[in-house]
Structure 1
Amino acid sequence: MTILEGWDSHAWIEGQWIHRAPRRPEVRPRLLAETTLLPWLAPQLPLPVPVPELTADGVRHLLLPGEPFTDGDERVGRELGAFLKALHAVDVQEAVLRGALDAETATAEKAAVLREFREQVVPLLPAEVRTSAHELLDRVANVRTALVHCDFGPDHILMTDGRITGIIDWTDAVIGDPALDLCWPLNGAPEAVAAGLLELYQPAPELVERSRDWARLSPWYGVHRGLLLDLPDDVENGLPTIVASL
């Protein structure tokens, strides 16, 4: 048996199955929701996703082949663009009925985090950038129009021989801002991947700009975590990155 550990779940591999059990009580309902959301979602998507089933500890699903993304070309970008375009087009009401976190609950949870950013992080920034910081937090606060993966990055994109073989880790799936799923592909992935995604997805300019806002927000989470866990180096190292992105 191979043991794996994640932020939200304990995970282990037995044969062809990967098992996941929640690390904290609040994770359990989101983990179990995958057993109703993903079987409904999988046939609507052009790339494989896990299809979990319930177990005594949590959930399990068949292993998807591949290793986390390390590089890609325009073809990979087009595959990601087709995948996200299909994901963001699914019926929102049906997604909620199948287990996705609804917009009202997600908005309340995000509002609490953004409020802590305002109260704890903004006062640590130089006075001359605080207005820009508040404006950034305003821009990412209230857009919730589609089902989003919500953690769409290289660790959760599996590849074999240059082709995508699966999109994993759907615990955070929520009705939210599609620009969040575009954040890494357009602002962190290789240029060729971004070009392929833009060609296929064809996002509106405001969606592209909000993806940049989500990228600007990324270092805030590290500083916030550093404040919560009393990690002063994380705070000290993260603040200049926030300032540089504003």
Structure 2
Amino acid sequence: MTGLTDEWGGTGWDSLARVARGRWVERRPRRPEVAARLLMETRLMPWLAPRLPLPVPVPHVLHREPLVVRHEMVAGDPLETFDAVSGRTLGAFLRALHATDPAEAVRQGAPPAREALRERAATVEDFRTRVVPLLPDDRRGAASALLDAVAALPAGALVHGDLGPEHVLARDGAVSGVIDFGDAHVGDPALDLAWALHGAPPAFARAVAAEYGAAPELTERALLWHRLGPWHEVTYGLDTGDRDTVRSGLEGVLARLPA
């Protein structure tokens, strides 16, 4: 996992990170509400890691005040080779993750389905209030329909919650690990398949679907989540006052909405 130094930095929205002694990744929250997610990882990941077929971070609390968590570095760099072999490896990983016992995951610290659904409802309402009015009049109907559909999706499996190519690591041409479980919760498994099935190159996507055993209904739900992705960029830009991020997010929202 390269790209970090001994200085606090990183490009994540939620955490600052650094490498310590060339072996450890240390993270601290950018905002107070992120602290709870970091602490959740320190409880969940020691239980989850042995159940997965790829290395994942297993953090522990290094300092309480200010909060810093540390985990041994997972080898590799963000995935750049999207071939069928990598797709099968990721598909097997997601199948194993989603097969873990959600009730036990909650006992180990993962947010339960009721909490995830409550947060989803709040997010959908925020999107409806702040993003839909920024869209052209003739696209607002499709945007509102997407939000209605996402609000009704199920929640019954432990999910990574923020799976994209930046969180899948590769080394020597092979997938070597998956990182950043701060958004893990009991939710819709289609969320983790959104990018892999609908944002990745076709050969990779087909291999993920085949290895995972993705049914058509699950693939359709993943498309809804994929369409929702850029909405988060819009609200992040609004929250931080970054007009370029808002503009980029709106372009993504419109590009992914059905005509």
TM (normalized to structure 2)?
0.88
* Residues 232 and 249, structure 2, Cα contact 8 Å, conserved in 1: no
Deviation at 1:236, TM superposition (A): 4.2
Deviations 1:134-178 (A, max 9, x none): 111111114211111011111111111111111111111011111
* Aligned partner of residue 132 in structure 2, secondary structure: helix
Give the percent of matched residue pairs that are identical in Structure 1 and Structure 2.
51
Deviations 1:34-73 (A, max 9, x none): 1221111111111111111221142211111111111131
The 1:124–1:17 alpha-carbon spacing in structure 2 relative to 1, beyond 3 Å, is closer
2:229 is aligned to 218
* Aligned partner of residue 151 in structure 2, secondary structure: coil
Query: Aligned letter for 1:147?
Result: L
- Structure 2: unaligned runs, 5 residues or longer: none
Is 1:48–2:55 an aligned residue pair? Answer: yes
Write the distance in 2 (CA, Å) between the matches of 1:134 and 1:195: 30
1:14 is aligned to 20
Which residue of 35, 38, 42 maps to 1:35?
A: 42
* Residues 194 and 223, structure 2, Cα contact 8 Å, conserved in 1: yes
- Structure 1: unaligned runs, 5 residues or longer: none
* Residues 146 and 224, structure 2, Cα contact 8 Å, conserved in 1: yes
Which residue of 122, 133, 136 maps to 1:123?
A: 133
Report the count of equivalent residues. 246
Is 1:162–2:169 an aligned residue pair? Answer: no
Deviations 1:180-217 (A, max 9, x none): 10011111222221111111111111111111111111
The 1:190–1:119 alpha-carbon spacing in structure 2 relative to 1, beyond 3 Å, is same
Is 1:144–2:151 an aligned residue pair? Answer: no
* Aligned partner of residue 175 in structure 1, secondary structure: strand
Query: Aligned letter for 1:23?
Result: R
Write the distance in 2 (CA, Å) between the matches of 1:65 and 1:244: 35
* Aligned partner of residue 99 in structure 2, secondary structure: coil
Write the distance in 2 (CA, Å) between the matches of 1:244 and 1:164: 29
2:120 is aligned to 110
* Aligned partner of residue 2 in structure 1, secondary structure: coil
